[in-house]
Amino acid sequence: DAKTTQPNSMESNEEEPVHLPCNHSTISGTDYIHWYRQLPSQGPEYVIHGLTSNVNNRMASLAIAEDRKSSTLILHRATLRDAAVYYCILATTGANSKLTFGKGITLSVRP
Amino acid sequence: DTGVSQDPRHKITKRGQNVTFRCDPISEHNRLYWYRQTLGQGPEFLTYFQNEAQLEKSRLLSDRFSAERPKGSFSTLEIQRTEQGDSAMYLCASRPGRGFSSYEQYFGPGTRLTVT
């Protein structure tokens, strides 16, 4: 599975936008970029995914570089509940499509 | 609650004992995954079922580990002769076979195993 690189941690202020970067220079043409997050003492939860175009949903936006070698997860207004570990994962959407997690980026949100 | 459930949530056992965990996926999901997560690390894939068929196993799944999914519904993960290195959070996830959210894995809350 292709590998992703994320900073270890990031801090944000409540109600401000947060940009979480991810590098994936070895991405292949069939790899989708997935983001999951894990709140303390919970299982991971899906945030968003995309292939080439930028994507928006109720939780976040995903901005994908034109060469697909990097992407950014955007939380438009961080809340205290957004404090979590965010994982950037490359995976196909095929039948198996297991997720290969790295260490993720730990987001702290200051009140 | 119609999400993925796991039982028990916590298990403390002595080294050498056998343990079994259960996962109940979302009812219409035919794909089921087991992952293991140790402190400070992201989850690691263990095994995958499509309906009742176990289609992939990680090298992490040693001979002491066995997983089943009879009738394609709930799944069990058994660890025989537990070792202290087995202490971890065991996560189950399920996913629909097709449809709008077929790419999304839904995770349960996990079973935290402590081997003393």
Of B4, B43, B56, the CB nearest to A101: B43
Q: DSSP string covering A8-48, please?
A: SEEEEETTS-EEEEEE-TT--TTPEEEEEEE-TTS--EEEE
With CA atoms as reference, the chain B residue closest to A92 would be B103
DSSP 8-state symbol, B28: T
Q: Are A46 and B42 within 8 A, CB to CB?
A: no
Nearest CA to B114 out of B1, B42, B24, B15 is that of: B15
pLDDT of B103 > 80? The answer is no
Interface test with A, best of B23, B45, B49 (most A CBs within 10 A): B45
Q: Does A25 lie at the interface with B, CB-CB under 8 angstroms? A: no
With CA atoms as reference, the chain B residue closest to A32 would be B103
CA dihedral A75, A76, A79, A85 (to 10 degrees): 10
Per-residue confidence (pLDDT) for residue A77, from 0 to 100: 95
Per residue in A80-107, pLDDT tens?
Answer: 999 999 999 998 776 678 899 999 999 9
Tracing tokens 């297991």 back to the chain, one arrives at A98
Of A95, A103, A104, the CB nearest to B50: A95
Q: Does A46 lie at the interface with B, CB-CB under 8 angstroms? A: yes
Q: In the predicted model, what is the mean pLDDT of residues A49-53?
A: 92
Per-residue confidence (pLDDT) for residue B23, from 0 to 100: 98
Per residue in B31-80, pLDDT tens?
Answer: 999 999 999 999 999 999 999 999 999 998 899 999 999 988 999 999 99
